Amino acid sequence: MSQRVCISLDAMGGDHGPSTVVPGAALARERHPGMTFLMFGDEAILTPLVAAEPRLEGAVEIRHTTISIAMDDKPSQAVRQGRGKSSMWQAIQAVRDGHADAAVSAGNTGALMAMSKICLKTMSGIERPAIACLWPTVRGESVVLDVGATIGTDAEHLVEMAVMGAAMARIVFDLDRPTVGLLNVGTEEMKGNEAVKEAARLLREMELPNFAYHGFVEGTDLGRGTTDVVVTEGFTGNIALKTAEGTAKQIAAYLRSAMSRTLSAKIGYFFARQAFEALREKMNPSRANGGVFLGLEGIVIKSHGSENAQGFAAAIDLAHDMARHDLMRTIRDMLDQTPAVVTA
């Protein structure tokens, strides 16, 4: 694929809409100068914001729509009201029609997934899409999926997610054979529900060439970075993600409180502030913002709805990398090398 990448943006999505999307796009383009954007939203709002960003000069085409999807809309309602008209739908449609290489939205997650499935369809050989995120670890980062696309799973879907997650890890981490673990309540083979145990058996027996199956991993392994990819179903994955984000904020609040409690603590902070700044940056969830919708016939990235411009830029960075390194071809190639799943 050419180095030149075009990203379609749902400029009206999220808690902050254009006031975050436009400066986020400017930050991302500073890192990827050849990147261009299709921005879908209210032209009257977007035009002055884009004009105020010199880094976006000549890089943005605004496509007007005043219809946006609310964060609390039910997916079915959003599809009925916004299909073909909303900024979210049109950003996805641009990918389907080949006008953009990937779409990014900070809007309603359920609506974005529903519209993406209808507009783009799922890939051949994939039962259900999954949302994959980059998870900060002490070793760097891991790919974790599913973090909220679907509730409940079976062995076949877990195997599909292992293949898709490994494809993403090969691109993001530049690994020929990333390691994959199944999230479980223990590492012993007899533990876990039937779907997880059956998926483990299948992955062991397949011995796929493009990733190495590690075995079961526990919740503590997420932060350790024991494997490059961690696979679980959406209910568990979403709870784990929200728990980790909440814990990071809790620790940050504890540190702020402790460092301002006494004069000696304030003096200690003054001398150790560089270390604390490094810790704050490592724990900053904006650095790893962006969930990739895997299993669709096109690339869609979900940004957190409350993210600032820095976080939205990180989601655009992820979209850029997925498109430039041809995520779709990597997944298809790996699926072609995966034998049909036969469960007991």
| Residue extents of the structural domains in the chain | 1-124+295-323, 127-290
Q: What is the mean pLDDT of the chain?
A: 88
Compare 250 and 25 and report the one with higher pLDDT: 25
Residue 311 has pLDDT above 50, yes or no: yes
- Domain 1-124+295-323 belongs to what topology? Isopropylmalate Dehydrogenase (3.40.718)
The DSSP string of 203-224 is HHHH--TT-EEEEEE-HHHHHH
pLDDT tier for residue 151 given thresholds of 50, 70 and 90: confident
pLDDT digits (tens, 9 = 90+) for 184-241: 998 888 888 899 999 999 999 988 889 999 999 999 999 899 999 999 999 999 898 8
**Smallest Cα–Cα separation from 255: which of 274, 224, 280?**
280
Q: Which CATH class is domain 127-290?
A: alpha beta
Angle at 286 between CA 179 and CA 328, to 5 degrees: 45
Residue 80: predicted pLDDT:
85
The residue-averaged pLDDT of 236-265 equals 78
pLDDT at residue number 320: 95
The predicted pLDDT at position 122 comes to 93
Rounded-to-integer distance, Cα 126 and Cα 279, Å: 39
Nearest to 39 by CA among 271, 215, 247, 48: 48
How many CA within 13 A on the CB side of residue 295?
25
| Under 8 Å between Cβ of 56 and 26 | yes
DSSP string over 123-143: PTT-SS-EEEEEEEETTEEEE
Q: What is the pLDDT of residues 17-58, one digit of tens each?
A: 999 999 999 999 999 999 999 999 999 999 999 999 999 999
Please say if the pLDDT value at position 70 is more than 70. Answer: yes
**What's the pLDDT band for 250 if we cut at 50, 70, 90?**
confident
pLDDT at 127: 83
Beta strands in 117-270 (DSSP E): 130-137, 140-145, 179-183, 212-217, 229-231
Give the strand pairing for 36-41 and 229-231.
unpaired
* 341, pLDDT greater than 60: no
Q: Which of 10, 296, 281, 306 is nearest to 125 (CA)?
A: 296
Q: Would you state the pLDDT for residue 275?
A: 61
With a pLDDT cut of 90, the percent of the chain lying above it is 60
Q: How high is the pLDDT of residue 1? A: 40
Residue type, 32: H
How far apart CA 110 and CA 75 sit, in angstroms, is 5
Q: Is the pLDDT of residue 252 over 80?
A: no
| 1-124+295-323 and 127-290 share one fold | yes
Cα separation, 217 vs 238, in Å, equals 17
- The mean pLDDT value for 55-75 works out to 93
Contact predicate 108/17, CB 8 Å: no
What is the Rg, in whole angstroms, of the alpha carbon atoms belonging to the chain? 21
Residue 161 pLDDT > 80, yes or no? yes
pLDDT 10s digits, 279-299: 555 555 445 688 999 999 999
Task: Give 107-133 pLDDT, tens digit per residue.
Answer: 999 999 999 999 999 998 888 899 999
